[in-house]
Amino acid sequence: QVQLVESGGGLVQAGGSLRLSCAASGDTHCISAMGWYRQAPEKERELVTGITKGGSTNYADSVKGRFTISRDSAKNMLYLQMNSLKPEDTAVYYCNADYSDDSCRMTPDWVYYGMDYWGKGTLVTVSS
Mean pLDDT of 19-37: 96
Distances 103 to 29, 45, 54 between C-alpha atoms, Å = 8, 30, 14
pLDDT of residue 110: 87
List the end-to-end C-alpha distance of the chain, in Å, as a whole number: 40
pLDDT of residue 46: 97
Over residues 48-88, the pLDDT tens digits come to: 999 999 999 999 999 999 999 999 999 999 999 999 999 99
Mean pLDDT of 105-122: 92
pLDDT of residue 84: 98
pLDDT of residue 108: 87
pLDDT of residue 37: 98
- In this prediction, residue 92 has a pLDDT band, given cuts at 50, 70 and 90, of very high
Strand partners, 122: 93
pLDDT at 109 over 90: no
Q: Output b/e per residue, 42-78; b: 16+ Cβ within 10 A.
A: eeeeeebbbbebeeeeebeeebeeebebebeeeebeb
How large is the greatest C-alpha to C-alpha distance in the chain, in angstroms? 51
pLDDT of residue 101: 93
